[in-house]
A = this chain, B = another copy of it.
């Protein structure tokens, strides 16, 4: 239990209301009950704010008037402050260190004494697992794999030979790091698709989160990289030799073909895809379901398939939705023009 004032101190905010208001947990504006803290960051939720039962709400300076019985903590970034407070109430789970007798750890593997290796985990030769790392049941680590400090690999995660996952990462169930990239050369004389050995690795840097059943393929030669602090949602595909820049966000079911390079802080909406060998610049925003087939400049926003600058796409789509009407107008104009051409203005 803590108070509005204590939380204000935690997030660098100022109290508007009862600084001694008790907070026992966090929730959304609509779900929050007495004793809970919530946040308001968007005018769309004005009504929810007015009706909230939350005892304390994190708000920006220009928030609507404070509802009776509610205390405000005013901060520059309510959503961010909410994240900090929520982490306080939901600290990361600790697991008792040690290696389960039901795990299978190669004698040449090096597992830090503070790491947790649960049942049915396989750790291959020369693989290293850092301090406080946690391997859930069914995790498979191949040979010469490196897992950094404090990283959690959830159930049935696979990290293949020679790949590495940095420190403080979180990989959700079924994520696969370092499966072969998809590369073949057609031999018409057989015919067969001849496999191009995928001899490179996948490297996941520090502070990365990777969603359930997401796949980061190993490179043909060299590395596939997921940069520091990037966050990948579920069912994401990162092709061989891609570079995902630091702090990039890939929403669920995004797919990147091979050798595409994402800059820093790139955002891809759900189900978006990018062709191979492209460069998507720093801070670019790729709309959901977009299909990127050309390089994207730093800071650009694109959408559509194939993608266009977002504004252009939305304008074109607005006309698309009226195409039948335009078509009728065009036919009408044509008829009227024909009449004029015949020297008459009416039939």
Taking a contact as CB atoms under 8 Å apart, the answer to whether B184 and A231 are in contact is yes
Q: Is A153 an interface residue (CB 8 A)?
A: no
Pick out which of these stretches binds chain B: A64-72, A107-115, A331-339. Answer: A331-339
| Complex: chain B residue closest to A328, CB-CB | B319
Instruction: Indicate if A1 sits at the interface (CB-CB under 8 A).
Output: no
Question: Interface 1/0s, chain A 62-91, versus B by CB < 8 A?
Answer: 000000000000000101101110110110
CB distance from A169 to the nearest CB of B (A): 12
A281 an interface residue at 8 Å Cβ cutoff?
no
Query: B257 touching A273 by the CB < 8 A rule?
Result: no
Contacts of A180 in B (CB 8 A): 170, 172, 209
Could you tell me if A312 and B308 are in contact, using CB atoms closer than 8 angstroms? no
Q: How distant is the Cα of A248 from the Cα of B70 in the complex, in angstroms?
A: 39
- Which residues from B are CB-within-8-Å of A194? 80, 83-84, 87
Q: What 1/0 mask marks residues of chain A from 143 to 162 whose CB sits below 8 Å from any chain B CB? A: 00000000000111010100
A339 to chain B, nearest CB (A): 9
Cβ contact within 8 Å between B156 and A193 = no
Q: How far is the CA of A333 from the CA of B318 in the complex (A)?
A: 20
User: Given contacts A90-B199, A251-B257, are A270 and B271 in contact (CB under 8 A)?
Assistant: no
Residue on B nearest A137 in the bound complex, by CB:
B122
Within 8 A of B (CB), among A88-142: 89-90, 100, 102, 104, 118-120, 122, 136-138, 140
Is there an interface contact between A80 and B187, defined as CB atoms closer than 8 Å?
yes
Chain B residues closer than 8 Å to A27, beta-carbon distance: 221-222
Q: Which residues of chain B are near A176, meaning CB under 8 Å? A: 172-174, 212-213, 234
What is the oligomeric copy number? 3
Contacts of A196 in B (CB 8 A): 82-83, 86
Whether the pair B316, A324 counts as a contact (CB closer than 8 A) is yes
A234 to B184, CA, bound (A): 14
Contact between chains at B289 and A273 (CB < 8 Å): yes
A288 lies within 8 A of chain B by Cβ: yes
Q: Are A155 and B154 in contact (CB under 8 A)?
A: no
**10 extra A-B contacts, CB within 8 A, seeds A79-B185, A192-B247, A306-B317:** A83-B195, A84-B194, A155-B158, A172-B179, A191-B229, A237-B270, A273-B289, A312-B324, A316-B324, A337-B340
A-B contact pairs, 14 of them (CB 8 A): A80-B186, A87-B194, A140-B155, A140-B156, A154-B158, A174-B174, A174-B176, A182-B231, A182-B251, A192-B207, A271-B271, A271-B291, A305-B305, A319-B323
* A positions within 8 Å CB-CB of B: 26-28, 31, 77, 79-80, 82-84, 86-87, 89-90, 100, 102, 104, 118-120, 122, 136-138, 140, 154-156, 158, 160, 170, 172-174, 176, 179-180, 182, 184-187, 191-197, 199, 207, 209, 211-213, 215, 217, 220-222, 229, 231, 233-235, 237, 239, 247, 249, 251-253, 255, 257, 265, 270-271, 273, 275, 288-289, 291, 305-306, 308, 312, 315-324, 326-327, 329-330, 333-334, 336-337, 340-343, 345
